[in-house]
Amino acid sequence: MARYLKIIFISAAAAVFLMGPAHAGIWYLPFPEDISLNGWRIDRVIKYIDVVITIAFGLVLAALIYFIFRYRARPGHRAVYDRGDRPVNILATVCLGLLVFFSIDLVIEKMSFHDLKEVFWNFPRGANVLKVEIMPQQFAWNFRYAGGDGEFSTEDDIVAPLNQMHVPVDTPVVVQMAPYDVVHAFYVANLRIKQDAVPGTVTTFWFQATKKGVYEIACSALCGIGHTNMRGFLTVESREDFQRWLAGLGTETSSEEDVWAAEETAGGILTKWGWKWQAKSQ
Amino acid sequence: MSHQQQSFWTKYIFSTDHKTIGKQYLFFGLFFLLWGGLQAMVIRWQQIYIGVEVPLVGKLIWPDSGGILTPDIYNQLITMHGTIMLFWAITPLLTGAFGNFVVPLQIGARDMAFPVLNMLSFWVFFLSGGVLLGSHFLKTGPSASGWTAYPPLSTPVGGIPGWGQTMWILSLVLMGVAVILGAINFVTTVIRLRAPGMGFFKMPLTVWGFWLSSILNAVFVPIIAAGLIFLLLDNVLGTQFFIAGSKATVKGGDPLLYQHVFWLFGHPEVYILILPVWGIVSDLLATFSRKPAFGYKATVVSMCTVTALSGLVWGHHMYVTGMSPLLGKSFMFLTLLISIPTSIFFLNWIGTMWKGSLRFDVPMLFTMSIVFVFGLGGLTGLYLATVTSDMYLHDSMFLVGHFHYTLAASVFMASFAGIYFWFPKMFGRLMDPLLGKIHFWVSFLCLNYVFFNMIVVGYAGQHRRLFDPAVYDFIKPLMPLNKMISMFAFALGLVQLLFFFNFFRSLFRGKKADRNPWKAATLEWTLDHPIPHGNFQGEVVVKTGPHEYSHPDFKGRDWIAQTEELPKQ
Ligand SMILES: [Cu+2]
Ligand SMILES: [Cu+2]
């Protein structure tokens, strides 16, 4: 009787457990759509770890369940005295260590570091690269484009309307970012990118969008009372549309820009848009 | 150490007896567990009923907003929930309660090395809790910059009004002082006061866990204390150690410096909290599998290796701060290395149960569940240790799910295992096993539901600390699942009331326990309740290891106490 009760309890628990996601209409949630040239690299390393941990956790779980039935205390059953310190155990331990090191640690390290070195930390150069400066502030996003001369902190810089970032499709975009006040983080789920903006530091990242559309920009580092509402929009459009948009912004915003430009490096301290494009990433 | 003529005050309040201090920490920790837990309930309420009055307590606590949460109250709640759970619930429950109560007994000591310091440590801890609680009564509310208190948000530049941040820093510094005093005491006690025959490799793994954890405390807590004092100066004296960029008026400040200092402490802190758990799990698995701990020495070496590595990996919290590629590579490599020692003692845990005779008493249920939840928690750490996957998962609900698996699930399940296990030794009575089993099963199911699905929504892109996640279109489809998470969180909270009921009822009405209800072999079970001040009468001589169960040549019972000889071969 007690045994049936147990089985009923366990199935009921399992049902409740699975019902939740079923009720929510989802079980395994896919990633947000990847619209970037290199997002697949991040998804790939995640998928590899998925496989590794499913195997590892599956083994632990299988052992737990098997042991619960096979080795439960019952009349006539006695534990086998085994300290697990014979040479064969030590050998097994060393083998496990090596297995973990070579099949998990090294593979992940190589995969991830390869992507970093060749892609994410290898900034594209050349004429078709678009440079953007981002200055997050409590609680909005400012975007600045270099204008015709391709140089920042000059007369023709173009500042986009608040929270609006436009980039041309299939074009490498290199971003430099420094916040106005506190730590923020630029996060676009569809690009698989998160990058902190830390006062006093210019952080750099790059991406290349491959699909037209409007995507959400979020701030993913707690920055105060309006953190949640720090929502921006990334518009990926054709090169022509992008040029038209940029040209339509006029010089009004950039004349306000001049005021800031004058105090840009007062005392060597960054003020507002105070940083010149950092040469290291060209 | 005279036991005569103790007044009520010296016996129960300003006691220098490690057992009384342990119990004081236990009640202290349970109080804050309840407090932090209630905050978690309100946070989950906010995630699904945005702008709806918090039932029962809302109007009472936040009369100004009519019981409705506002973004600043929400930020205060997440800050306080994290701070309280880590430093005022987990720390007193593990190191405070079990460390104090169990460690001297298990090594055969008459008390801690410095009993007065021990008392002082508790009362400084108590004071720190008072300061933190006091900050809730400020008109502007407590700190709201997150439990990590990253500057410049946590400085006047951040724009958060009031004295909440300052009181938060003061309470943490006081807590740090208490922890350092305690750590010095533990380290010394284990080195100096082991009974004759209690070699390092005869110590129960619980003692190893607390000892290594105390070493980390003694080394790394002073670092965060120093960092916080600089933050305090930035807040009250107008210095700019951690302020840079447009808002700085002098050169030289750097918010990243704070992040380095914080995580140089913050990552070891994870191990400070989890090492005792590993020790307790290793010992309890042996006791309830009626087998010696499998690969005892390998487990010890693994725990020492993790302790050594813990101070070298803090950078994995800062991959997306614009860290230099070389540093990113090294921190990733060092962090991934931790998987080797952890997988070794996982193997040993499985080995301990293998061919055992498993008794599913309540402490064992909680212990086995830790193998499950810590397995998930540890493995999900791989994603965050890797720089590229961290680019996507950093600061997401995935991270929240991951550390709740490792810190909330594992640590609280271990605290419960410890409470059910040592309750008879602490109070001379047993807790009710049926209520214990219900408490276990409901907690286990609910916490897995909650934390696993946090991982799921994090995978799907939801980032954390959102007052209203539905602001974002890409999160809107996740709201039904967020709602279910909240429902299960409420159930998880509710069933803890059953635990509190069982705990307090058993204090007075529980079945009287005999000296050794679990048939365990370590030294504390050789003593009758109540254990007098000074613990052991006469000399204790240790002759065998801590887990001599089911020895084939020992007839009559299946355990050999540490004071008994092993049978001759
Ligand atoms: Cu933010
Ligand atoms: Cu860490």
User: What pLDDT digit, counting tens, does each position of A140-168 carry?
Assistant: 899 988 877 778 877 778 888 889 999 99
ipTM rounded to 2 decimals: 0.90
- Judged by CB atoms within 8 Å, which residues 55-94 of B form the interface with A? 71-72, 75
Chains A & B: contacts with CB separation below 8 Å: 344
Q: For residue A5, name the pLDDT band (cuts at 50, 70, 90).
A: low
Q: How far is residue B454 from each of residues A90, B345, B462, B483, measured CA to CA in Å?
A: 38, 27, 9, 11
> Which residue on chain B is closest to A180 by alpha carbon?
B246
Is residue A23 located within the same domain as residue A86? yes
- Report yes or no on A141 lying in a domain: yes
User: For A136, which DSSP code?
Assistant: E
- Residue numbers in B near A97 (CB within 8 A): 340, 343-344
- Which tops the pLDDT comparison, A18 or A64? A64
Kindly state whether residue A19 falls inside one of the protein's structural domains: yes
Under DSSP, the state recorded for B130 is H
Whether the Cβ atoms of residue B515 and residue B428 lie closer than 8 Å to each other:
no
Residue-level pLDDT at B382: 93
Q: Which of B102, B123, B129 is nearest to B16 (CA)?
A: B123
Peptide bond into A168 cis (omega under 30): no
Q: Looking at residue A156, what is its pLDDT?
A: 78
Does residue A100 lie within any of the structural domains? yes
Write down the pLDDT at residue A20. Answer: 52
What integer pLDDT is reported at residue B374 of this predicted model?
Answer: 93
Q: In the prediction, which pLDDT does A16 show?
A: 62
| Structural domain boundaries in chain B | 16-526
Q: Report the residue of A34, A59, A66, A93 to disrupt the B interface, i.e. the one with the largest count of B CBs within 10 Å.
A: A93
Mean pLDDT of chain A: 83
| Same domain assignment for residues A160 and A87 | no
Produce one character per residue of A127-166: b if its CB has 16 or more CB atoms within 10 Å, e if not.
eebbbbbbbbbbbbbbbbbbbeeeebbbeebbbbeebbbb
**Enclosing H/E stretch for B164:** helix B164-192
H or E segment to which residue A41 belongs: helix A39-70
Residue of chain A whose Cα is closest to the Cα of B378 = A53
Chain B residues in contact with A218 (beta carbon < 8 A): 463, 472
pLDDT of residue B337: 95
Tokens read off for B325: 């590629």
**Residue B267 Cα to ligand 2 middle (Å):** 4
Fold classification of B16-526 is Cytochrome C Oxidase; Chain A (1.20.210)
SS3 letters for B461-515? CCECCCCCHHHCCCCHHHHHHHHHHHHHHHHHHHHHHHHHHHHHHHHHHCCECCC
Domain assignment of residue A179, yes or no? yes
A210 and A266 share one domain: yes
Structure tokens at B230: 């600089």
pLDDT at A280: 58
Q: Report CA(A190)–ligand 2 centroid distance (Å).
A: 26
Residues of B in contact with A202 (CB under 8 A): 322
pLDDT recorded at residue A18: 60
Same domain, A105 and A175: no
Task: Give a yes or no: residue A58 inside a domain.
Answer: yes
Q: How far is B478 from chain A (nearest CA, A)?
A: 8
Question: Which residues in chain A have Cβ-Cβ distances shorter than 8 Å to B289?
Answer: 71, 79
pLDDT(A275) > 90: no
The alpha carbon of residue A198 is apart from the nearest alpha carbon of chain B, in Å, by: 7
Is A43 in the same domain as A147? no
The reply to whether A6 and A95 lie within a common domain is yes
* Closest residue to A79, CB basis, from B254, B356, B394: B356
Kindly list the residues from chain A whose CB atom is less than 8 angstroms away from the CB atom of residue B344.
93, 96-97
State residue B568's pLDDT score: 76
pLDDT value at residue A157: 81
- Is residue A91 domain-shared with residue A176, that is, in the same domain? no
Whether A165 maps to a domain, the answer reads yes
Residues on chain A touching B247 (C-beta within 8 angstroms): 180-181, 199
Same domain? A266 vs A211: yes
CA angle B93, B95, B97 (to 5 degrees): 50
Strand partners, A187: A194, A218
Q: What is the pLDDT of residues A193-206, one digit of tens each?
A: 999 999 988 999 99
**Chain-chain contact of A56 with B343 (C-beta, under 8 angstroms):** yes
**CB within 8 Å of B169: residues ≥ 6 apart:** B149, B228, B229, B231, B232, B235
Q: How many domains does chain A have?
A: 2
pLDDT above 80: residue A265: no
Average pLDDT over residues A114-136: 91
Q: Which domain holds residue A13?
A: 2-120
- Please say whether the beta carbons of A99 and B331 come within 8 A: no
d(CA A189, CA B367): 38
Q: Which residues of B441-472 are buried (b: 16+ CB within 10 A; e: fewer)?
A: bbbbbbbbbbbbbbbbbbbbbbbbbbbbbebb
Question: Within a domain: residue A280?
Answer: no
What residue in A sits closest to B151 (Cα-Cα)? A182
Cβ atoms within 10 Å, residue A96: 16
In order along its 569 residues, chain B shows pLDDT tens digits of: 445 567 777 777 888 899 999 999 999 999 999 999 999 999 999 988 888 888 888 888 888 888 889 999 999 999 999 999 999 999 999 999 999 999 999 999 999 999 999 999 999 999 999 999 999 999 889 999 999 999 999 999 998 988 999 999 999 999 999 999 999 999 999 999 999 999 999 999 999 999 999 999 999 999 999 999 999 999 999 899 999 888 888 888 999 999 999 999 999 999 999 999 999 999 999 999 999 999 999 999 999 999 999 999 999 999 999 888 889 999 999 999 999 999 999 999 999 999 999 999 999 999 999 999 999 999 999 999 999 999 999 999 999 999 999 999 999 999 999 999 999 999 999 999 999 999 999 999 999 999 998 998 998 899 999 999 999 999 998 898 899 899 999 999 999 999 999 999 999 999 999 999 999 999 999 999 889 988 898 889 999 999 999 998 888 888 999 998 888 76
